[in-house]
């Protein structure tokens, strides 16, 4: 009887520990507010979009980032976070190693975004992967750089007709057109 009791208690404790362990894995601790303890360095929440695991849609994630100044640094920081991948749900859909080379924004809100060669060279997948990679990029820029109304993606300084042969990228993409 005593052994049965000890066995049951051990099972209960293990179940509890296992639950807490999986819970921590699935939900990393929320970042605390205003962790910056300086009055000069600002912290800002960025809204990032990653692919859903089932490939149906995008999932949004807010992430605290040290505020970048200048358009290039702001966009580069966002793309770097997309490249790092999600901390909660979803999957990184931007081709690994993608970074920003140059960014131009004209007075009509057309952003020309020059991405590194990895964007095209490391892309793998079909139309869903291509759609969500582009959507992730455009939605993230639209959510965090409100002055950008359209985005023209180029790669390594050259025009890019398509990423993987499924969607045309030869024209600027309307930010409002990627739900």
Residues forming the site for other proteins (CB under 8 A): 1-2, 4-5, 8-9, 11-13, 15-16, 19, 23, 27, 31-45, 47, 51, 53-62, 64, 67, 88-89, 91-93, 124-129, 131-132, 139, 142, 146, 161-162, 165-168, 175-179
d(CA 141, CA 147): 10
* Distance of closest approach, residue 102 Cβ to other proteins, in angstroms: 24
Q: How many CB atoms lie within 10 A of CB 108?
A: 7
Beta carbon nearer to other proteins, 20 or 102: 20
CB of 30 to other proteins, least distance (A): 8
99 touches 76 (CB < 8 A): yes
Choice between 72 and 101, CB closer to other proteins: 72
Q: Least distance to other proteins from the beta carbon of 104, Å?
A: 21
- Decide if 133 contacts 52 (C-beta within 8 A): no
**What does the alpha-carbon distance between residue 53 and residue 85 come to, in Å, rounded to a whole number?**
12
The nearest distance, CB 99 to other proteins, in angstroms, is: 19
Nearer to other proteins, 26 or 106 (CB): 26
Residue 177 per-residue DSSP state: G
30 or 106: whose CB is closer to other proteins? 30
Tokens of 109: 């809100």
Handedness of CA 55, 58, 59, 63 (dihedral sign): positive
């Amino acid at each position: 009887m005593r052994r049965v009791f000890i066995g049951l208690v051990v099972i209960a404790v293990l179940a509890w520990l296992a639950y807490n362990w999986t819970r921590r894995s699935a939900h990393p601790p929320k970042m605390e507010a205003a962790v910056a303890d300086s009055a000069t360095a600002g912290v800002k929440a960025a809204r990032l979009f990653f692919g859903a695991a089932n490939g149906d849609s995008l999932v949004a994630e807010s992430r605290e980032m040290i505020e970048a100044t200048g358009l290039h640094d702001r966009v580069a920081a966002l793309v770097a976070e997309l490249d790092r991948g999600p901390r909660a749900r979803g999957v990184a859909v931007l081709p690994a190693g993608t970074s920003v080379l140059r960014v131009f924004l004209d007075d009509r809100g057309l952003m020309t975004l020059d991405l590194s060669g990895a964007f095209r060279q490391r892309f793998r997948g079909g139309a869903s992967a291509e759609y969500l990679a582009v959507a992730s990029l455009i939605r993230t820029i639209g959510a965090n750089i409100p002055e950008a109304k359209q985005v023209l993606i180029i790669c390594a300084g050259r025009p890019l007709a398509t990423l993987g042969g499924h969607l045309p990228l030869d024209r600027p993409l309307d930010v409002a057109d990627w739900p």
